[in-house]
Chain A
Amino acid sequence: MLIGACLFLMACASDAAKSVSLTVWIPAHPNESVFFQRLLNRYQQRHPQVHLKLVQVPFEVMKPRFVGEAQPKREPDILLMPNDWTGELSHAKLLQPQQASTQDFLAPALAAFRYQDTLYALPLSFQVAALIRNQDLVPKAPSTWDEVKTVSQALQRQGHQGLMYDTKSFYYHAAWFHAFGGHLTPQGARIQISPVPLQQSLNFVRDLEHAQLIAPRASYSVMTHLFNAGQLGMMVSGPWALSEARRNQLKVAVSPLPTLPKGMKPRPFLGAKGWGLNAYSRHSHTASELIRWLSSLEVQQEMLNTLDELGSHPALYQHKALSPEKQGFFLQAQTAVPLPNHPAMKNIWAELNWTLSQTLSTQRPTAAIVTEAMKRLQRL
């Protein structure tokens, strides 16, 4: 054992002393690529023996390329991945487990990358949907659906729309589903869904539709179109929507989603982006060091100031200078539910969206919709 330990230490020492080249993959994005290239340049200046290569890969092909190349090419060493890939990539044994202190990361962000009790990536940022409002139309954030109703009716009277969100997407509906106590529970190779909370949440949105608080035909495109055109007072969306609103000179504010009747707190999904380490990396020790730095408070603070990203370090949100919009998302994150990273998730999105479509486009009883949905899910 002693000899093994010595050999390990020697390997680590030699790995650290020699010149090492690492490849980092990030999703192609003009602003983010400039930001991350600047970060890597700084790291190389601090660690001259480490040569870093930043590669932008289109998001839609990133996962299949990593699955195909990680083992034979032993590249990339590091990739910036969404948390919902975690289960699939860990099943393929392509990710190296990592260690992290719970003090350095928000608990739901860390949990988003934990699969079967093992952490597979260090979270960099998180996304969560909250209530975004046009302050010129809605000066005060409604905290309940009753208040939403009041505000919406007032806006409609002015020829504007009240609140919109992509009602046909379970990603947004999940906030109500979770509020009613629903869970997406991994069970073997499947995901178990609580049918009662699902039905209750479907009833809830049907009620919203009947109350004309939401537009059943509204898509994400309609929502952003009207909001950015100044015709919509409120929308449910994430931090990614802020930049376009700013480009349209809108004065926006972010607040937690309005509570449901009986005081139930909406619990939207919390998705995260984090640094995964290729299990076949030639320089896993050096890559691990780099990941640790890329997830550090220093980097997250800079990212918070540069990009429309929400860092995963709790200390970021203790700062008084934090923008109200990001503070609003942080508040929403307190009740968020980590986006499931089970491999089976990719199969159930369509079925869950179907339930929403059925609920908002037909008059079928929600119980029947749920029953059929359960059968459809069983067939997957």
Chain B
Amino acid sequence: MKLRFQTLRARLLITMVGVVILPGLFSLLWSHWSVQGMVTDLLNKQGDDAGQVVDNIFEEFVNDSFLKARIITQTRDLQTAVHSRETIDLINQLSALHQELNLGLYDGVIEVFDPQGRLLASEPRVAKPLADANMVKGALQGAILSGNLFSDGGLKISAVVPIYHSASAAPSGVVAVSFRATHKIAEEIQKLANTHALIFTVPDQGRPQVLATTLPEDTSASLVALYAQGQSNRVSNRRYLMAVTQQSALNGTFYLGAAQDISRLSANLERLSGGLMAFQMFAVLLAFLVAQSMIRNLTYKITALVDGARAIAADQLDQPIVIASQDELGHLARDLDRMRQKIRETLHQKNQVLQSLTLRNAINQAIISHRGNELLNQVLVQIIEALEAEKGSIMMLDKLNGRLMLKIVYNAKEGVAPLYVRDHVSFALGEGVAGRVAETGESMICNDPAQDRRFKTYRFQENSEQRIENLLCIPLKVEDEILGVFSIDNKPGGFEERHQHMLEDIAHQVAVAIQNAELYELSITDGLTGLYIRRYFEAMLEQEVRTSQRLVRETSLVLFDIDHFKKINDTYGHQVGDEVIRRVAALAKASLREGDLAARYGGEEFALILPGTPLELAWEVADRLRRLVQQTVMEYGGHRLQVTISLGCASTPRQATSREQLIERADLALYASKHRGRNRSTCYEDTLLPSEPA
């Protein structure tokens, strides 16, 4: 997830890191360093203490040897043995004293020298005297001496005391208690101090030398080498920390080291430090997780609000804004969601109104532009598309047989009307849903035809393609007169009452238009023949002449009348005459093509307007009508009549440039047919024009 720094969440996260994580990490590092520092100080202090203890113990051994040397010289039996030079007694005395004084503790040696400085005896026996000859010499002069001395490649610690006998004022000999700096002394120091002890030298020239140690040889060597390099009174090789004190000998310097094994302590420190770090890391992590959770909880709500507001702004009003909490943000979300619902409701209503208005506008356009079946077809298409239904139909009530007859069928998928349906489908009043609507004049919604007994299923509707899933049936009525019904079928999701209300208004509008069209039709047609009256004919002819001239298209006019009509009237009466006129008019209407127009021009005179029809073709139409009339036997009132007609044809713009001129030329052609013997068709020719007076 990409985290942009402008977002609230990123800023909160940065703040949290600044307030919680960084201080936590600093605290962690600080405590780690503090613990290390404290432990290091503790170790150093402990090391120094151990160094001091080792120093003290060594000093105690020196003092002990000095004290014991004095005790030995105060032993009367020894004084006697020394004075008498009785060797066996002397050795036995020394052996007993050595044991009693526990000089074996540090490998101490008791030596007895005669007044000439010669070694009389020692315990344990040594081949070569340990005590320094000069110290012995000094003691023979009454001095009590103690000191450390390097000799024979080692360090000796000696206490030299004169021994007296009551028989002589001068010393009868000298007693020396000496010990060497050996591993034994280091071990004894270790036992008492509970720390490793080292005695070593660091000569100005040459390598440091370990005289005594309780550590392995290589470990001692490394520690001493470290000390020799740095001359610090504390050195460490990671495992051991050695504190060093300097000691003086009569002829040099040596060092005492107290080495403590700090590996365990270091390991404990590592564990403690690691544990502390782990604990603090855990605490920081926990703080991070808690803060992250709080931020997520907060930002999730704010993000939900922002997303909801953005969706509303983008007209995406179906997504609810939900924050399931009782805090202020939860209340805000619920208020925002109510606003969303209101906006959606308002927009929905607005859309419905707009849809209704759009549909009305389309219907109005259709009413204005179309008539008859075309009007019904346009209306049906507009309604189906507006309601997003699959198909629909319009059935008109046949006033002659009182049944609903299918007039228009439209399928949005196929786009064409299945003619076979139109030919076969009809309902009696009260039959099926449509019949009931036509009978009651009340609209009906049927969203489950399979369970609705009112619904009548035709066999062709049993296959899946023609199956009716739901339908809305609306009566076409003006006041109480039923003209027919709309049936709109298969709307996904079914129909609602609002669809019904919208269509009822439109159906009423369409019904009024249909009724008005019928009334208009009545005003421009002749009551006897049903053909257009002369005034309408002339208006239409005027329009066709202009159209032909604009499109340079030939339009023909045929004028004809019934031959000897006056004689029929006179012979059979006006009713027969009217019937003849009506029959001829019907033959004329039946012979016309789509777009042709027939009108009653006068009493027994008729006119045919053939738009887009050349003169020659117009003659053929005229002559075919002539032959049809001639061949038709008209029976009326017990009479069998056969009549003929005479026809005249003219065309524009070839033969006439105006309505009047075209009528005149066609009339001239009609007159020529009459003149030539009637029952014929004549095309206008300029020769028919009357000659102009000279």
Contact = CB atoms under 8 A, between A and B. Distances in A.
A219 B92 contact: yes
A158 interface: no
Interface in B55-104: 87-89, 91-92, 94-95
A229 B124 CA distance: 12
Contact of A221 (B91, B127, B183): B91
B604 interface: no
Interface in B113-128: 121-125, 127
Contacts of A222: 87-88, 91-92, 95
B125 A228 contact: yes
Interface of A: 30, 215, 217-219, 221-222, 224-226, 228-229, 231, 244, 247-248
A247 B127 contact: yes
25 contacts: A30-B183, A215-B88, A217-B89, A217-B92, A218-B88, A219-B91, A219-B92, A219-B95, A221-B92, A221-B94, A221-B123, A221-B125, A222-B87, A222-B92, A224-B125, A225-B91, A225-B122, A225-B123, A226-B87, A226-B91, A228-B125, A229-B125, A231-B87, A244-B125, A248-B127
Nearest to A244: B125
A208 to B, nearest CB: 16
A240 to B, nearest CB: 13
Contacts of A224: 125
A48 B467 CA distance: 94
Contacts of B95: 219, 221-222
Contacts of A229: 125
Residue picked from B91, B92, B123, most chain A C-beta under 10 Å: B91
Interface string B103-141: 000000000000000000111110100000000000000
A217 B125 contact: no
A248 B121 CA distance: 15
Given A218-B88, A221-B125, 10 more contacts: A215-B88, A219-B91, A221-B94, A221-B123, A222-B87, A222-B95, A225-B121, A225-B122, A226-B87, A247-B127
Nearest to A225: B125
Contacts of B125: 221, 224-225, 228-229, 244
A110 B183 CA distance: 36
Interface in B276-307: none
Contacts of B88: 215, 217-218, 222
Contacts of B121: 225
A219 B95 CA distance: 9
B90 to A, nearest CB: 9
Contacts of A247: 127
A230 B91 CA distance: 15
Nearest to B184: A30
A228 B126 CA distance: 9
A218 B95 CA distance: 11
Nearest to A218: B88
Nearest to B91: A222
B98 to A, nearest CB: 8
Contacts of B89: 217
Contacts of A228: 125, 127
A217 B77 CA distance: 14
Contacts of A248: 127
A224 B125 CA distance: 8
Contacts of B127: 228, 247-248
Contacts of B91: 219, 221-222, 225-226
Nearest to B127: A248
B503 to A, nearest CB: 97
A228 B122 CA distance: 12
A251 to B, nearest CB: 15
Shortest beta-carbon contacts, A-B, top 6: A221-B95, A222-B91, A225-B125, A225-B91, A222-B88, A217-B88
Residue picked from A229, A231, A244, most chain B C-beta under 10 Å: A229
Contacts of A221: 91-92, 94-95, 123-125
A27 to B, nearest CB: 14
A312 to B, nearest CB: 29
Contacts of A231: 87
Nearest to A221: B95
B109 to A, nearest CB: 12
Nearest to A223: B91
Residue picked from A217, A221, A229, A248, most chain B C-beta under 10 Å: A221
A224 B121 CA distance: 12
A221 B122 CA distance: 10
A215 B91 CA distance: 13
A314 B183 CA distance: 37
B614 to A, nearest CB: 123
A247 B127 CA distance: 8
Nearest to B124: A221
B162 to A, nearest CB: 23
Contacts of A217: 88-89, 92
Nearest to B92: A219
A142 to B, nearest CB: 22
A35 B358 CA distance: 117
A43 B371 CA distance: 124
A224 B92 CA distance: 12
Contacts of B92: 217, 219, 221-222
A217 B89 CA distance: 8
A7 to B, nearest CB: 41
Contacts of A244: 125
Residue picked from B88, B121, B183, most chain A C-beta under 10 Å: B88
A117 B123 CA distance: 43
A228 B125 CA distance: 8
A224 B123 CA distance: 10
Nearest to A224: B125
B20 to A, nearest CB: 50
Contacts of B122: 225
B420 to A, nearest CB: 98
A228 B183 CA distance: 25
A215 B121 CA distance: 18
A218 B90 CA distance: 11
A217 B96 CA distance: 12
Interface string B354-380: 000000000000000000000000000
A226 B88 CA distance: 9
Contacts of B183: 30
Nearest to A216: B88
Interface in B568-591: none
A339 B502 CA distance: 133
Contacts of B124: 221
Residue picked from A225, A229, A247, A248, most chain B C-beta under 10 Å: A225
A248 B128 CA distance: 10
A29 to B, nearest CB: 12
B401 to A, nearest CB: 113
A234 B123 CA distance: 20
A364 to B, nearest CB: 22
A226 B94 CA distance: 14
A222 B89 CA distance: 9
A325 B212 CA distance: 34
Nearest to A247: B127
Contacts of A215: 88
